[in-house]
Structure 1
Amino acid sequence: MKFFQASHKFDHSWSQVTAANWMKYPNEQCPHVVAVDVLNRHIDPETGVLHTERLLTCNQNAPALVLKFLGGSTVSYVRETSELDPRTKKLTMKTENLSMCNVLRINETVTYTVHPQDANSTLFHQEAQIVAGSALSRFSSYVEDFCLTRFRDNAAVGRAGFEMVLDRFKAARLEAAQQLEKIEKATASL
C-alpha cells in the first residue's frame, strides 16, 4: 500500500471554489475525463448537507500490452461521492476506481475548506491510498510505486486545470457584474 498527500491554497473564496468544482470537467489539462454523470443528488433536510454521487468516465493512457495482459479496457469508471456542508463550509469528495479494482484499487479523499489564515482563499487537501491486488503480488510494490508517481503527476496537472476553470469562472462572474451594472445605469437614466 502506498500513500499520497498534498495540500494547496487556491486564491479564490470557498464559495467560488465549490461552485466551480461542479464545472471542473472537461478542461484542457484533464482530457482523459470524457464524461461526468450525476447518479444521485439530494439535500439532507435536517443538516442542509448536499450529497452527490457521480460517475466519471475516463480514457486510460495505459500501455496496450498491460491492458491486454490484465484484461482491461481503455475506458475506465470512477465513482465519486461528495458532501458539501454550507454551515461548516467544507466540501469532502471521495473517489474510488470501479474499473480493474481487483488489480489495482485507488481511494482518494479531497477536502475544500476556508483557509484558516485567509478567509478569501480555500485550502485544498488531497489524500490517496494505492493498493495493488493479489493478482500482482510479486510485482505489487513496483506497480504501487509506478501508480504513485503517476498519481502525483496527474494531481499536479489536475490542480493546474482546476486553476484554469476557477479563472474562467471568475472572469465570467466579473463580466456578468459589468453587464448588470450597464443595465442598471441604462435603466436609471430612463
Structure 2
Amino acid sequence: MKVFSNTETFDYSWEEVSTANWRKYCPWNNKSTHVIAVDTVSRSVDPATGILRTERLITCKQPAPDWLKSIFGGLEESQVFETSYVDPANKTVTMVSANLTLSNLISVQETVIYKPLNEHQTQFTQDAKITALCGGWQRIKNNIEDTLVKRFRENAAKGKEGFEAVLEMSRRVFAEEREREKMDVVRAQATHIRMAAA
C-alpha cells in the first residue's frame, strides 16, 4: 500500500470554498479536464445534525502508461463513487471516495477535508491509500502503486490551480449578483419615491 497526502491553503472563507466545491469540475476549471462527468446519485439532510450528505458518481478519462495498459487493458475511463458530508455547524466538508473501476485489482480510498483556518482562509487536506490487489510479483504491485501516486500528485497540482480559478470566478459572480440586487433595490426605492411624489 502507498499513501499520498497533500495539504493546501485557500485564501477564501470556508463558506466560499464549501459553496464553490459543487462547481469544482465546471467549465471555469480548465485544469480538471480528465473529469468528464459528475452525476449526483442521492442527496439528503440529517434533520438532527443539519449535515448534508451527497453521493456522486464521477467519471474520469486519462491515458494510462503503456506498460499499465498491457496489464489492465486499454481502459481509459474510470468511475469513482464519492460520498460527501457538509457540516455547517462545525464548518467541515468531508469527502470520501473509492474507485469502482478495476476495484478487484486496485483499491484507491481517498479522503478530502475542507475546514476553516480563520475567517478568510480554508485548509484542504487530502489522503489517498492506494493498494494493488492483483496477485503476482511485489515489484509489479509497487510499480502500479507508484504510478498511481504519481498520477495523484500531478492531478493535485492541477486541481489546486483549477479550483483557485473556480473560487475566483465564484467570488466575482457573487459580488456582481450582490451589486445587481443592490441596484434593483435602489431602482425600486426611486420608483416608489417618484410614485409617492406624483
Tell me if both proteins adopt one fold, taking TM over 0.5 as the criterion. Answer: yes
Deviation at 1:91, TM superposition (A): 0.7
Deviation at 1:120, TM superposition (A): 1.8
The CA distance in 1 between the partners of 2:72 and 2:9, in whole Å, is 38
The CA distance in 2 between the partners of 1:136 and 1:163, in whole Å, is 42
Larger Rg over CA atoms:
2
1:127 aligns with 2:122: no
Letter in 2 for 1:39: V
Residues 1:33 and 1:136: Cα distance change in structure 2 (over 3 Å): farther
Q: 3-state SS of the aligned residue for 1:135?
A: coil
The CA distance in 2 between the partners of 1:18 and 1:111, in whole Å, is 10
> Does structure 2 conserve the Cα–Cα contact (< 8 Å) formed by 1:114 and 1:121?
yes
Residues 1:129 and 1:136: Cα distance change in structure 2 (over 3 Å): farther
1:8-87 equivalence runs, <5 A: 8-26=8-26, 27-63=29-65, 66-71=68-73, 73-87=75-89
CA RMSD of aligned residues (A): 1.5
Aligned to 2:147: 146
The CA distance in 2 between the partners of 1:149 and 1:32, in whole Å, is 15
The CA distance in 1 between the partners of 2:19 and 2:137, in whole Å, is 42
- Identity across matched positions, percent: 39
The CA distance in 2 between the partners of 1:178 and 1:44, in whole Å, is 34
Structure 1 runs (4+) greater than 2 angstroms displaced: 63-69, 134-138
In structure 1, list runs of 5 or more residues that go unmatched: none
Deviations 1:48-97 (A, max 9, x none): 11111100011122145633531352211000001111110111001111
TM-score by length of 2: 0.89
TM-score by length of 1: 0.92
> Does structure 2 conserve the Cα–Cα contact (< 8 Å) formed by 1:103 and 1:136?
no
1:104-183 equivalence runs, <5 A: 104-115=106-117, 118-135=118-135, 137-138=137-138, 139-183=140-184
Letter in 1 for 2:148: C
Aligned to 1:90: 92
